[in-house]
A and B are shown apart, each in its own frame.
Chain A
Amino acid sequence: MSVSDRYRRIAEGQDLDGIMRAAIVTRRRADLDVRAAHEPASNAAEAQMVSIWCEVLGLDDVGVGDVFFELGGDSLHMTQVLARVRHRFGRDVPIEAFFDGPTVRHLARIIAGPATPAAEDGDLTHMLDLVEHVSTSALRDDTGADASPVAKAPASTGPVSAGPISADSGRTS
C-alpha cells in the first residue's frame, strides 16, 4: 500500500490503527507542549534533522529537544531516520546514538561534528588476530627469535623489551 493510499484510508476512517496512532501522537505532542517549551532549529543540521523526523513521523513540526520515542517513534522509524541521514548527509550515525540521546539536537550535533572513527570491526579483528598469533607463537618459539608481528610496530614506539614496556616517549628520567 502506498503512503498516499494509507493517508486516504486514515482520512476515510478505514485504518483504525493509523487513527489511533495519530491520536496518540497528537496527545503526546500536546503533553510535550505543556511540559517542554518548543525549541526551533538553530542551525542547518538541526533544520535538516527536523525535516527528516517530520517526514518519518508524519508530524508538522518537532522541537530540537523533543524525545523521539515520546513522539511515537519506534525501531522501524529509527532505521528510516538513519537511512535518510545517510542519504542526505553522507554520514553513518550509529544506532546507539539514538539511545544516547534521542533528540534532534543530539543527532544534529553528531552530524555537524567531525567524523569520529568508530572502532572499526576490521581493526578489532586484526588486533585480536595479532593477539592470537603472538600467543601461539610464544608457546612455539622458545628461542626468542621474533617471528611475531610485534616486529611490525611503528618505529616511533621506540625500543621494546621484556622489561618495562618502554615505548619511550621522550622520557628524560
Chain B
Amino acid sequence: MNDSAVRIDTFGVVTLRRPAALARCLTSYIVNAARHGRTLRCVVCDDAAAPQDRAACRDVARATAKVYGCAVQYIGLEEKLIVLRELIRTRDVPPDVVPFAFFDVERVGASDGGNRNVLLLETCAAPILMADDDTICMTRRPLGYRDAASARQTDEGERWDPSDVWMLGVGGDERDACRAESLDFFGEHERWLGRSIDAASTIRVTTNGTVGDCGWGSPSPFLFLRGSSLARLTASNDRYDDYTTSRRVVRAASRVTIAARTDDFMSGCFAVDARTMLPPFPPVGRGADRVFASLVAKCCARARWAHLPIVLPHRPHQPRTFWRGEITRSAAGIDLCTLLCALLDVIPPPAYASDAERLAWYGTHLEEIASPSTQAFEAAAVDAVRRTLAWQIDALEGALASRAARATQFRRDVRAYLAALRRTSARADLHVPLDLRGDWPAEEARAVIQRIVRRFGQLLTHWPRLLHLRREMLHDSHVLAGR
C-alpha cells in the first residue's frame, strides 16, 4: 500500500433540531483536532423547517466559532435557497433536479440525505470528515484491537460491513468492549483515506465504529450477525432478550479492514475523498447511506472502504430501546432505500466508462424503469425487491443451519422472521415501502414511489454536472475574494 497526501481540514456535521447535541459534537471534534495541532473548517448543515430551530443551531455555530477561534459555517434553509437559485439560474440542469437533491419535496418525511448532498456540493473537491450531531469525538479502541501492521482485506465478493458487534445489554459496561485511548482522530482517517491499495484501487471512504446506541432502525440486524458477533449474541438464552432490546452495542472492526463494498454502511461518522466524483445520497427516506454505499461500489472505479479500529460514542438525545417482539417488525415490508438499492442491483453494469458515465448509466436506467406505465414499473420493482428478499431468506436459512446459532430464542426469532419475510415476498404491493404506507392513500403512495425513483435517476444523471457547476462557483468567488 502506498502513502497518500490527503489532509482532512474540513469537518461537516448534519443536524436537525438538536442544538445541545450540535454544541457537544462540534466541541468534541474541534478539541480533538486542536490537541493535535489542527485547525478545522467546520460546516454545519441544518435540515430544520422552523425558523426558531434554525436560529438555535445558528447561535450554536456562532458561539462555537467565537469560543474556539475557528471557522464554523452554518448552512440552513436560507443558505440552501441561495445555492439552489444560483444552480437553477445556470440553466445547465433541469430546474427540478436541484430542489429534489436538497429537500424533501415529495414529503416522505426524512431528508438527511438531502442535507448531506448540500454538504457534498459545498465541500466538493476536498477530503471531508462528516459526522452526525449525536456522535462525540472521544476516541476508544475496540476489544481485540490490532495495530495497522495487521490490516487485512476482505474477499472481493464480500458485501457487508466487516465490523464486529459486542452487545452490552441494559447494564453492560462499555469498558468491557472498548477502552479509552487518546488519538489524533482526523490523523487516523488521513492515514488511510486516498491510499492506493494496488495499481488501480484507492480508499475513497474511511469509517469508524461506535459505542452506545446502535443507530439501527429495527433490531433485525441482530438476526444477520455472523461469526464471533453471532456467537456472543446466542451464547446465552438468558441474555438474548436483554441484548436484542437494549440497543446498546459496540460496533467496530478490531483492525483496519479494507473492503470493496459495504452495502449496510451507516453514516454516523466517516471521511470521504471527494477530490474526484462521489455519488449523491438519495435525498429522502431512511437508510440513504446504504444507497450511497451501493453507488460508490457501482460507480467509483475500484473504490475501497477502510474500516478503522476506532470507536466513538453515539449518544442520541433521548435514550431508546427496542420493544420485545419488535425483531420481526421490519419483515413486514421494505423501506424506500431498500427499493432503490434493489432496483440498482438489477441494472446490468456498464462495460467501460468513467465514474460520471457510470453514474449517468444507472440514472438513465432508473429513469427508464420508472417512466413507462405504472404496471410495468411495479412489475419491475416487485421483481427487484423479491430478489433482495430472496437473498435475506437464504442468509437466514444459513443462520439456522449454523451450529453457532444454538440459542432457542434466536432460532425462534429467525423462524418467525423467515415466515414473515415469505408472506411479505408474496404480496403484490411488495414494492410499496413501509415509510409511505399509512400516511398516503394506496394509489397516491404508488405514484409517489414511481416519481421518486424517476427523479432520483434524473439526479444521478445530472449530479456530476451539479458538482462541476458548484465547483466553478466556489472557485470564481475565491478568485473574486482574492482581488
Residues in chain A within 8 A of chain B (CB atoms): 35, 67, 69-70, 100-103, 106, 109-110, 113, 116-117, 119-120, 123-124, 126-128, 130-132, 134-135, 137-139, 142, 148-150, 153-154, 156-157, 160-173
Q: A163-B474, A165-B122, A167-B79 are in contact. Are A131 and B105 (CB under 8 A)?
A: yes
Given contacts A165-B79, A169-B62, contact A150 B85 (CB under 8 A): yes
Chain A hits for B3, CB < 8 A: none
Residues of B within 8 A of A167 (CB): 58, 73-76, 78-79
Instruction: Output the least CB separation between B2 and chain A (Å).
Output: 31
Q: Is A69's CB under 8 angstroms from B325's CB? A: yes
Chain B 34-70 interface 0/1 with A at a Cβ cutoff of 8 Å (1 = within): 0000010100100001111101001101111110011
| CB–CB B71/A103 < 8 A | no
Cβ contacts under 8 Å, A123 to chain B:
49-51
Across the A-B interface, how many residue pairs have beta carbons closer than 8 Å? 162
Q: B-side binding surface: helix, strand, loop or mixed?
A: helix
Give the docked Cα–Cα distance between A119 and B54 (Å): 12
- If A150-B85, A172-B65 touch, whether A135 touches B78 (CB-CB below 8 Å) is no
Which chain A residues border B77 with CB–CB below 8 Å?
Answer: 127, 130
Q: Which residues of B contact A132 (CB under 8 A)?
A: 99
Is B243 an interface residue when CB atoms closer than 8 A count as contact?
Answer: no
- Our pick among A126, A162, A170, A173 for the contact of B477 (Cβ within 8 Å) is A162
User: A139 vs B55: C-alpha distance in the bound complex, in angstroms?
Assistant: 29
Smallest Cβ-Cβ distance to B64: which chain A residue: A169
Comparing B161-169, B221-229, B315-323, B352-360, the segment that makes contact with chain A is B315-323
Neighbouring A residues of B389 by C-beta, 8 Å? none
The reply to whether B88 and A135 contact each other, CB–CB distance below 8 Å, is yes
A164/B474 in contact, CB under 8 A? yes
Interface residues on B, range: 35 or more
Give chain A nearest CB distance to B472 CB in angstroms.
Answer: 10
Partner of B65, one of A162, A165, A169: A169
CB-contact partner of A120 in B50, B62, B89, under 8 A: B50
Kindly state the separation between the CA atoms of A73 and B52 in the bound complex, as whole angstroms: 38
| B79 and A157 contact, CB distance less than 8 A | yes
Interface flag for B149 (CB, 8 Å) = no
CB-CB nearest in chain B for A149: B81
Query: Given contacts A135-B88, A135-B98, A139-B88, is CB(A150)–CB(B103) below 8 Å?
Result: no
Contacts A138-B85, A138-B89, A162-B82 hold; do A169 and B73 have CB atoms under 8 A apart?
yes
CB neighbours of B95 from chain A (8 A)? 135, 138-139
9 tightest Cβ-Cβ pairs between the two chains A and B: A163-B477, A153-B78, A170-B65, A171-B71, A123-B49, A169-B61, A138-B88, A165-B79, A123-B50
CB-contact partner of B81 in A70, A131, A170, under 8 A: A131
Q: Which residues of B contact A128 (CB under 8 A)?
A: 103-105, 107
Which B residue sits closest to A103, measured CB to CB? B323
Please name all residues of chain B whose beta carbon is closer than 8 Å to the beta carbon of A120 when the two chains form the complex. 49-50
The answer to whether B324 and A169 touch across the interface, beta carbons within 8 angstroms, is no
Chain A residues with CB below 8 A from B86, complex form = 138, 162
Decide if A165 touches B321 in the complex (CB within 8 Å). Answer: no
Which residues of B are in contact with A by a Cβ distance under 8 Å? 17, 39, 41, 44, 49-53, 55, 58-59, 61-66, 69-86, 88-89, 91, 95-96, 98-99, 102-105, 107, 122, 241, 318, 320-321, 323-325, 473-474, 476-478, 480-481
B55's contact among A117, A156, A168, A172, by CB below 8 Å, is which?
A156
Interface contact A67-B324, CB-CB below 8 Å: yes
Expressed in whole angstroms, the minimum distance between the Cβ of A130 and any Cβ of chain B is: 6
Q: Do A101 and B478 have beta carbons less than 8 Å apart?
A: no
A-B contact pairs, 27 of them (CB 8 A): A67-B324, A70-B324, A101-B320, A101-B321, A102-B323, A126-B49, A127-B77, A128-B107, A130-B81, A135-B98, A138-B85, A138-B88, A138-B95, A149-B81, A150-B78, A156-B59, A157-B58, A163-B474, A163-B477, A163-B481, A165-B75, A165-B122, A166-B73, A167-B78, A169-B58, A170-B72, A172-B69
Question: Which residue of A117, A148, A157, A172 contacts B50 across the interface (Cβ within 8 Å)?
Answer: A117
Q: Most chain-A Cβ atoms within 10 A of its Cβ — which of B65, B83, B324, B478?
A: B324
Could you tell me if A101 and B84 are in contact, using CB atoms closer than 8 angstroms? Answer: no
**In the assembled complex, which residues on chain A have CB atoms less than 8 Å from the CB atom of B477?**
161-164
Residues in B with CB closer than 8 Å to A138 are: 84-86, 88-89, 95
State the CA gap A116–B55 with chains docked (Å): 15
Residue picked from A69, A103, A119, A170, most chain B C-beta under 10 Å: A170
The chain A residue with its CB closest to the CB of B66 is A170
Residues of B within 8 A of A119 (CB): 17, 49-50
How far is B105's CA from A35's CA once the two chains are assembled, in angstroms?
Answer: 46
Q: Which residues of A lie under 8 Å from residue B325 when comparing CB positions? A: 67, 69-70
Tell whether, in the assembled complex, residue A127 and residue B321 are in contact, meaning their CB atoms are under 8 Å apart: no
State the Cβ distance, A71 to closest chain B Cβ, in Å: 11
Say yes or no: B62 contacts A156, CB within 8 Å: yes
Assembly CA distance A162 to B473 (angstroms): 7
Contact of B476 among A116, A127, A160, A163 (CB under 8 A): A163
Residue of B nearest to A127 (CB): B49
Task: Given A124-B107, A157-B79, A163-B480, answer yes or no on A135-B84 (Cβ-Cβ < 8 Å).
Answer: yes
Given A106-B321, A148-B85, A154-B55: A172 in contact with B79 (beta carbons within 8 A)? no
Chain A, residue nearest B53 (CB) = A117
CA distance A100 to B75 in the complex (A): 30
CB-CB < 8 A to B480: which residues of A? 163
Q: Which residue of B lies closest to A113 (CB)?
A: B318
Distance from A9 Cβ to chain B, minimum over Cβ atoms (Å): 31
Q: Is there an interface contact between A165 and B82, defined as CB atoms closer than 8 Å?
A: yes
Q: Is the CB of B73 within 8 A of A168?
A: yes
Contact between chains at A131 and B99 (CB < 8 Å): yes
Nearest B residue (CB) for A95: B438
| A162 partner residues in chain B, CB cutoff 8 A | 82-83, 86, 473, 477
